[in-house]
Structure 1
Amino acid sequence: MTTESKIVLITGASSGIGKASARLLAARGHHVVLGARRTDRLRALTKDIHDAGGTAEFHALDVTDAANVREFADAALAAHGRIDVLVNNAGVMPLSKLEAGRVEEWDRMIDVNVRGVLNGIAAVLPVFQAQAHGQFVNVASIGAHQVSPTAAVYCATKFAVWALSEGLRQEVGPDIRVSVISPGVTESELADSIADPVGREEMRVFRAVSIPASAVAESIAFAVAQPATVDISEIVVRPTAA
């Protein structure tokens, strides 16, 4: 690693935006610490990064388990002596109309999309405060700014990510940076979690125009690359045709 290299933790790194961000940040000289439940995918991704000349490691991670998230952060800190960036990326999106009453899916979105981010903040904020530097990059969504049918709960969770990020930014002072990345429709596996037929059809229409996960990764890398005195508060990235 070079002197500009950062220790970057990424949740939800086994696919989509997390995977693309891991590849890009590693290619730019950062050491990426990858977390997700699907460790077979993380193992393959870590090998790909090493084969391409980058550095990476991985850990099994369930962001809904606060103790597991602390272990993830503690392992990175023990191995490297610092954490420079946490990319809170893990998320799920089982869309459905409220009248469908899919309460278990609502709970899952709240657990992963909101509690997962809070667990990341709780685990890493004390580290950032102790070392007097660090950056949170929280992945929200265009759904944090506009609501569409079948997406009420999903949008609520992503608005929560935006609100938590803004509150965190105001609280932490000048030593810690907080960035929100709000993607529009992005090519990913999130749509695969949609069991409700109405929600699945809505997403099919939305995904007629989408951007690759690599485009969102570029935005994350841009925020990470800024000087310590510059805070990219939010980037909204979406298809030009949207």
Structure 2
Amino acid sequence: MSPARRAALPPGPVLVTGATGGVGVPLVLQLAKRGHHLVLSGRDRARLDQLSEQVRERGGSAVVRPADLRDATQVQQLVEQVLAADGVPAAVISLAGHSIHRPLADSLDRPHDLERLTGTNLLGPARLILGLLGPMGERGSGVVIAVTSATARIPNPGWAAYGASKAGLDAWLRAIRPEAARTGVRIAIIELPLVATAMAAPTYGSAPRGALSPEQAAALVLRALDRPLTLVSPAWARTGAVLSQAVPALAAHTTGIAGAWVTRLSRREVRR
């Protein structure tokens, strides 16, 4: 999309969480080429510093704000630092996430998996967004983009903890979206399908067949930033969400079989 056709953003930085992740890096570098001032957040300070240098090489500017979204205190400090030092964000792009693939039999003594994933995928992003929505609403403009998952609304055996945490964020954002819109803040949800990142590699291999590249996934996020969209999701995911509500038992059974089949077909390693 040409710059003239992009949706105009208000003054302010673009905050990206999970900035050093598989989708975060190409997204940040594309934003840098556009000249945005970026606030980069993640857990690894050294990697954030390296990324900020790449941003400057491409004509953008960036500051680094490390934070672990599982830590409520760190999230609150991140909110305070951004508002005090960087200003009210023009856009908040929530990419940070964590996944675990584990069948029920292996999960019976691991309730902490739910705690870990909920902290990263639901509670942390929600705390961050809540802390910034007020100032953005007072200004009367802004965009919040959150990446969930194409399977967030389709129960998938083996991905129970991951799906629950992503579905929780998805449902929460859908519920607050109309009220945020009345203050001038648009909330967009990106339900990504499989992406060939390090997070997916333990289950699908380092080069899964049929997966989006990180660059393709980043392009979907940019699409939501540039256009007045509230949802970017594959057609099969929207259809699956309807079926999972209409025939839940059959849908869950079918999804489990299909998921195992897709995993076997998708798994592929890079040949060296």
Question: CA separation in 1, counterparts of 2:58 and 2:199?
Answer: 27
Structure 1 moving runs of 4+ over 4 Å: 3-6
Identity %: 25
Question: Compared with structure 1, are the counterparts of its residues 72 and 238 closer, same or farther at alpha carbon in structure 2 (3 Å cutoff)?
Answer: farther
What is the CA RMSD across the aligned residues, in angstroms?
2.5
Report what 1:177 is aligned to: 186
Unaligned runs of 5+ in 1: 195-199
**How far 1:73 sits from its partner (Å)?**
2.7
Report what 2:65 is aligned to: 59
Question: Compared with structure 1, are the counterparts of its residues 129 and 98 closer, same or farther at alpha carbon in structure 2 (3 Å cutoff)?
Answer: same
Please show how residues 94-105 of structure 1 align to structure 2 within 5 Å: 94-101=100-107, 102-105=110-113
Question: CA separation in 2, counterparts of 1:131 and 1:74?
Answer: 17
Question: CA separation in 1, counterparts of 2:59 and 2:119?
Answer: 36
**How far 1:238 sits from its partner (Å)?**
9.3
Report what 1:23 is aligned to: 29
Report what 2:116 is aligned to: 108
2:52 to 35, 46, 54: 46
Question: Compared with structure 1, are the counterparts of its residues 40 and 159 closer, same or farther at alpha carbon in structure 2 (3 Å cutoff)?
Answer: same
Letter in 2 for 1:159: A
Report what 2:4 is aligned to: none
Question: CA separation in 1, counterparts of 2:40 and 2:52?
Answer: 8
Question: CA separation in 1, counterparts of 2:125 and 2:86?
Answer: 22
1:141-192 residue CA offsets vs partner (Å, 9 max, x unmatched):
1121323331122111111121111111122233110000111000112136
Tell me, yes or no, if structure 1 residue 151 matches structure 2 residue 148.
no
* Larger strand fraction of residues: 1
> What is the TM-score when the length of structure 1 is the normalising length?
0.85
Tell me if the contact between 2:117 and 2:165 (Cα under 8 Å) persists in the aligned partners.
yes
**How far 1:67 sits from its partner (Å)?**
2.8
Give the match's secondary structure for 1:135. Answer: strand
1:107-127 residue CA offsets vs partner (Å, 9 max, x unmatched):
211111111121112221121
Count of aligned residue pairs for this structure pair: 227
> What is the TM-score when the length of structure 2 is the normalising length?
0.76
Report what 1:197 is aligned to: none
Report what 2:222 is aligned to: 221
Tell me, yes or no, if structure 1 residue 160 matches structure 2 residue 168.
yes
**How far 1:26 sits from its partner (Å)?**
1.6
Give the match's secondary structure for 2:200. Answer: helix
Tell me if the contact between 1:49 and 1:56 (Cα under 8 Å) persists in the aligned partners.
yes
Larger Rg: 2
Question: CA separation in 1, counterparts of 2:157 and 2:95?
Answer: 24
Question: CA separation in 1, counterparts of 2:137 and 2:86?
Answer: 17
